[in-house]
Structure 1
Amino acid sequence: MEAGISFTNDIIPILRVFDVQKLKEFYVDFLGFNVDWQHQFEENSPLYMQVSQQNCILHLSEHHGDASPGSTIRIKVQQILTLHQNLLAKNYKYARPGLEETPWGTTEITVHDPFGNKLIFYEGN
């Protein structure tokens, strides 16, 4: 590595999405993310949006070349039991996620968004 170059841990995944209403129902209403900003070049053009919750930032894009549907991301959280209870309390009709204790020492919640992307929330290692 060249001198003077440093990397941070600020990684922002881009997930492919297709429907703004379903996007907001899942990411905002169910998972509790906030919409930070959104951009379209003109009306009826693809949407690009940033959502966040605390230090977790995601970019969601309808643009064809930005990402492939079916991606998987892992998001480290604290208080995963509380997160699990909160998600179940939302009574979202398309997901009733369980808790998994993994052999590698994590507790995980896996949810699939309406566009085929998988989000794994984990606590531990």
Structure 2
Amino acid sequence: MKGYIKEIHPVLPVKNVFESLLYYTDKLGFNVAFADDEKNPTYAGITKDGIEIHLQWHDASEWEAGIDRPMLRFVVQHIESLYEEYKLKSVFHNHTSLSEKPWGTKEFAFYDPDMNGLTFYCDL
């Protein structure tokens, strides 16, 4: 029997897992799947529409080194509706827009509070 990869659960580094949980649940509509501690978590998982992302505490000194932050690309349906939903939640940056790209996608992108890049897209 040949093995195959079933899912991926990316782990995003964050400065404060509790605050990140609030951001992803209140602003982006995720649900908390688990947390290693209810009051002061250092590792947690969030879910939305069948995907799962893990959030892991990293010391603030790691942000001083200027290390590139992770970038996630989410394949979505009804991108216009999701764009409007997130627009109302005030998560966008000044240059966030929904646009068609020359590589054949329609997408929008922004950063979470820990500067992890989030791009949402669909094929044209």
Normalising by structure 1, what TM-score? Answer: 0.79
C-alpha distance in structure 2 between counterparts of 1:61 and 1:11, whole Å: 16
Q: Partner residue of 1:62? A: 57
1:109, distance to aligned residue in structure 2 (A): 1.3
Structure 2: runs of 5+ lacking an equivalent: 60-66
C-alpha distance in structure 2 between counterparts of 1:23 and 1:119, whole Å: 14
Q: Partner residue of 1:52? A: 47
C-alpha distance in structure 2 between counterparts of 1:50 and 1:114, whole Å: 17
C-alpha distance in structure 1 between counterparts of 2:44 and 2:75, whole Å: 22
1:50, distance to aligned residue in structure 2 (A): 0.5
2:33 is paired with a residue whose SS is strand
Q: Could you give the per-residue CA deviations for residues 45-91 of structure 1, whole angstroms, max 9, x where no partner exists? A: x6111001011110011056xxx761011110100000001011223
Structure 1: runs of 5+ lacking an equivalent: none
Moved over 3 A (4+): 94-97
Aligned residues: 116
Normalising by structure 2, what TM-score? Answer: 0.80
1:110·1:121 contact (CA, 8 Å) conserved in 2? yes
User: Identity of paired residues, percent?
Assistant: 32
1:69·1:115 contact (CA, 8 Å) conserved in 2? no
1:11 is paired with a residue whose SS is coil
